[in-house]
Amino acid sequence: MNMVLGFTGKGKGADGGMDLQPLQQLRGYWEALRSGSTLPARADIDPRGIAGALETAFLLDRIAPGMAKVRLAGMGLHDVMGMEPAGMPLSVLFDPAARDRLSTALEQVFAGPSAVELWVEAERGIGKPALAGRMLILPLRDAAGEVGMAIGALVTAGAIGRQPRRFAIATLMAEHLPQRAIMPIPVPMPEFAESSAPFVPRPTPGKPHLRLVSSRD
Angstrom distance (rounded) from CA 192 to CA 179 = 34
**pLDDT tens-digit profile of 135-156?**
999 999 999 999 999 999 999 9
Domains of the chain and CATH, by start: 14-176 (3.30.450.20)
Model confidence at 13: pLDDT above 60 = no
Give pLDDT tens digits for 24-59: 999 999 999 998 778 999 999 999 999 999 999 999
Most trustworthy range by pLDDT among 2-16, 32-46, 107-121, 194-208: 107-121
Where do runs of H (alpha helix) occur along the chain?
A: 14-17, 21-33, 75-81, 99-111
* pLDDT surpassing 80 at residue 112: yes
- Compute the mean pLDDT over every residue in the chain, rounded to the nearest whole number: 81
Query: Does residue 174 carry a pLDDT above 90?
Result: yes
Task: Give residue 114's pLDDT band: very low, low, confident or very high (50, 70, 90).
Answer: very high
Provide Rg for the chain, Cα atoms: 29
Residue 37: its pLDDT value, please?
78
Q: pLDDT value at position 10?
A: 41
> Do strands 57-64 and 131-140 pair parallel, antiparallel, or not at all (unpaired)?
unpaired
66-93 pLDDT tens trace: 999 999 999 999 999 888 999 999 999 9
Distance of CA 61 to the CA centre of its chain: 10
What is the spatial order of strands in the sheet that 57-64 belongs to? 67-73, 57-64, 149-158, 131-140, 114-122, 167-176
Q: 24, exposed or middle or buried, with CB in 10 Å at 0-12, 13-18, 19+?
A: buried
Give the model's confidence band at 180: pLDDT under 50 very low, under 70 low, under 90 confident, else very high. Answer: low
203 near 209, Cβ under 8 Å? Answer: yes
Q: Number of C-alpha atoms within 13 angstroms, CB side, residue 135?
A: 29
Question: Rounded to an integer, what is the distance from CA 131 to the centroid of its chain?
Answer: 27
pLDDT of residue 204: 52
- Residue 145 CA: distances (Å) to CA of 41, 44, 109, 113: 8, 12, 15, 13
Task: Give the model's pLDDT for residue 45.
Answer: 95
| pLDDT number for residue 178 | 80
Number of H helices, E strands in the chain: 4, 6
